[in-house]
């Protein structure tokens, strides 16, 4: 559907993006994450053809952006960070203009506009001047503009920024719905949003893709060791040494030292030597030793942890005076 | 073509949603009627002649063309709608021509509005028809060329005021070419400079002489600045 190959946008006096490389297949909803100034908007602008890349190539549906600008642009719907609206026009007049501009066939325009207005809950506001709409409704008109020509690929730049929580949920539901028929690339810095709607995450930092994974695989992608939280019925030290004897286990740590002595159960954090799943091994070992496992839970990093980890490591090294970020990072790992 | 028409229609709508346009129109009507009054009523005996008035009216364009064109492209940058236009299937040529066609339509309206003066004069005598129509053609051509310059100035900045001032300065310089030529003492230099004068070209038309090269001058001037506008917009993609 979309192929971004080694795309760079270089500037003389500020950081652009370097060698961005990813592809999207039909039907995916990809969350594009990164701190402010990481290059999300620049990348999206290159995909939509607003900016030309300095190097690299972008292809939509196998058609190169550079060779077929008009054909590829027809396939893309784009909602920039600020919805591109003409405040003087009415919603209806605006959408009519968009329909003409985007080659929606004349006889389909009426139906298409009515459909889009219905889909975005803009009924009753057709004749209202865009200037007089609330921010949430302006955002909807912006979205309407992006989907009116039924594009295959939707590029949404921070579609929920500046909205109130209720509006955010509404827009999110809308995007999820759109994801059923469109391929969506959306940028955001609201992390739960990604977990809520995306089936793939791209994290970009300082102009480079630093992570490209499914939300559920994030932990292993980070090169984390496999971690287990265990609650076992049995003597603490004995359980611990039994676990440590397993060849795949690197470390078994008691969670609450003080109560361990007299308590019947023991809580442990078990770390594997690598990323392999050690759950079965642990189960059989405990079963053999006769210590029942009461609880076993795989530890995974939250998106926040990963985001902070990926996006603060470099700056933390180059800019030492940022205790805040470091705090977050540690807190995230402990949790 | 439909994309261009879409831009054209939208742009024409915007002209009439913008208070600036009404101010410009009002200034135009007021000033030109004052000129008409001075030339036809106040200076007696009055002559049934439109030429003086046409010359004076075109002078008003110097002020109102920047007012009318300054928002054409600058406003797109300000509202972020350039992202919409530049990512649409419409080519820059279609966008710029659509906008320019709207500006030229407004120019046509200005010219048509001032047809009231010859209409009044014709009640008192007979006007020289070729002089009348060619004078009005010259008004339209000059104004339309100035609109293209205004459009170009508007594509340079996201700020309407800056665009307006740039347009005014560009037009003023072209306007003053006549004076510069006047202060150069004869010779080839003077001839060369005069070639670029905005209003010297109108003289023939206003005498009732239709000369292809004069018409071509204004058309070329407009085309040149439209081409420059397209280039300026194309450059934005490479920022």
* Alpha carbon distance B139, B55 (integer Å): 9
Strands (E), A61-130: 63-64, 76-79
Nearest CB among B7, B89, B239 relative to A73 is that of B89
Q: Report the 10 Å Cβ neighbour count for A202.
A: 24
* Residue A101 sits at the chain B interface (C-beta within 8 Å): yes
Using the structure block, give the residue that is written with the tokens 């080694």. A6
Q: What is the count of residue pairs from A and B with beta carbons less than 8 Å apart? A: 78
User: Cα separation of B177 and B174, whole Å?
Assistant: 5
Sheet of A29-33, strands arranged across: A76-79, A153-157, A183-188, A29-33, A200-205, A208-213
User: Can you tell me whether residue A230 is helix, strand or coil?
Assistant: strand
- CB proximity under 8 Å: A 36-75 to B: 45, 48-52, 70-71, 73-74
Report in angstroms the alpha-carbon separations of A251 from A222, A232, B167: 19, 16, 74
Which of chain A's residues have a Cβ under 8 Å away from the Cβ of B89? 70-71, 73-74, 101-103
* Distance of alpha carbon A299 from alpha carbon A301, whole angstroms: 7
Q: What is the distance in angstroms between the Cα of B7 and the nearest Cα belonging to chain A?
A: 8
Q: Nearest CB to A78: which of B5, B10, B87?
A: B87
- A77 and B CB contact within 8 Å: no
**Beta strands at A208-213 and A200-205: parallel, antiparallel or unpaired:** antiparallel
Alpha carbon A238 to its chain centroid, in Å, reads: 43
ipTM of this predicted complex? 0.89
pLDDT, tens digit, for every residue of A194-253?
A: 877 888 888 888 888 888 888 767 666 666 677 788 888 888 888 888 888 888 888 888
Show pLDDT as tens, one digit a residue, over chain B (239 residues): 889 999 999 999 999 898 999 999 999 999 999 998 888 888 777 777 788 888 888 889 999 999 999 999 999 999 999 999 999 999 999 999 999 999 999 999 999 999 999 898 888 888 888 888 899 999 999 999 999 999 999 999 999 999 999 999 999 988 888 778 777 777 777 777 777 777 777 888 888 888 888 899 999 999 999 999 999 999 988 87
Output the CA torsion sign for A49, A54, A60, A66: positive
Q: Which residue in B155, B175, B198 sits closest to B69, CA to CA?
A: B155
Out of B9, B88, B238, closest to residue A73 by CB: B88
Region of residue A158 (left: phi > 0; alpha: psi -120 to 50; beta: else)? left
Q: What is the pTM of this model?
A: 0.82
Of A80, A89, A97, the CB nearest to B83: A80
Range of the domain at B222: 2-237
Which has the closest alpha carbon to A267: A280, A281, A251, A253? A253
Question: CA-based angle A60:A62:A68, to the nearest 5?
Answer: 65
What's the domain count of chain B? Answer: 1
């Amino acid at each position: 559907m979309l192929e971004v190959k080694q795309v760079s946008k270089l500037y003389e006096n500020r950081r652009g993006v370097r060698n961005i490389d990813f592809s999207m297949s039909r039907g995916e909803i990809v969350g594009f994450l990164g701190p402010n100034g990481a290059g999300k908007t620049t990348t999206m602008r290159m995909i939509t053809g607003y900016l030309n890349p300095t190097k690299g190539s972008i292809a939509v549906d196998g058609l190169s952006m550079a060779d077929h600008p008009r054909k590829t642009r027809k396939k893309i719907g784009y909602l920039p960070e600020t919805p591109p609206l003409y405040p003087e026009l009415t919603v209806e007049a605006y959408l009519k203009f968009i329909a003409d501009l985007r080659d929606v066939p004349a006889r389909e325009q009426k139906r298409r506009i009515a459909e889009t207005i219905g889909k975005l809950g803009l009924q009753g506001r057709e004749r209202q001047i865009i200037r007089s709409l609330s921010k949430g409704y302006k955002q909807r008109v912006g979205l309407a503009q992006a989907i009116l020509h039924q594009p295959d690929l939707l590029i949404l730049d921070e579609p929920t920024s500046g909205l109130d929580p209720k509006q955010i949920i509404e827009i999110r539901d809308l995007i999820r719905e759109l994801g059923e028929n469109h391929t969506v690339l959306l940028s955001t810095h609201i992390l739960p949003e990604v977990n809520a709607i995306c089936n793939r995450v791209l994290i970009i930092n300082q102009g480079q893709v630093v992570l490209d994974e499914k939300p559920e695989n994030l932990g292993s992608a980070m090169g984390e060791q496999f971690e287990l939280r265990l609650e076992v019925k049995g003597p603490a030290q004995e359980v611990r040494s039994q676990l440590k004897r397993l060849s795949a286990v690197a470390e078994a740590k008691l969670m609450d030292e003080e109560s361990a002595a007299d308590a019947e159960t023991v809580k442990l954090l078990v770390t594997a030597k690598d990323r392999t799943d050690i759950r079965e091994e642990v189960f059989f070992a405990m079963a053999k030793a006769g210590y029942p496992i009461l609880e076993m839970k795989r530890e995974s990093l939250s998106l926040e942890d990963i985001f902070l980890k990926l996006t603060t490591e470099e700056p933390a090294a180059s800019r030492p005076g940022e205790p805040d970020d470091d705090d977050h990072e540690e807190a995230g790992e402990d949790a | 073509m439909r994309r261009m028409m879409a831009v054209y229609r939208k742009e024409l709508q915007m002209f009439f949603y913008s208070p600036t346009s009404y101010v410009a129109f009002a200034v135009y009507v007021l000033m030109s009627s004052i000129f008409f009054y001075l030339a036809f009523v106040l200076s007696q005996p009055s002559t049934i002649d439109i030429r003086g008035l046409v010359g004076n009216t075109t002078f008003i364009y110097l002020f109102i063309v920047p007012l009318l064109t300054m928002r054409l492209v600058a406003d797109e940058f300000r509202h972020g709608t350039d992202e919409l236009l530049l990512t649409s299937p419409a080519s820059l040529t279609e966008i710029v021509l659509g906008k320019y066609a709207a500006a030229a339509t407004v120019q046509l309206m200005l010219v048509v509005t001032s047809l009231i003066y010859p209409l009044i004069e014709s009640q008192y005598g007979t006007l020289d028809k070729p002089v009348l129509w060619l004078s009005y053609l010259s008004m339209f051509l000059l104004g339309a060329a100035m609109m293209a310059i205004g459009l170009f100035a508007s594509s340079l900045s996201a700020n309407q005021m800056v665009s307006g001032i740039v347009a005014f300065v560009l037009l003023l310089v072209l306007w003053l070419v006549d004076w510069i030529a006047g202060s150069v003492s004869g010779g080839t230099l003077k001839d060369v400079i005069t070639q670029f004068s905005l209003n010297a070209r109108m003289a023939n038309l206003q005498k009732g002489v239709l000369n292809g090269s004069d018409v071509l001058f204004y058309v070329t001037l407009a085309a040149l600045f439209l081409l420059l506008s397209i280039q300026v917009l194309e450059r934005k993609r490479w920022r």
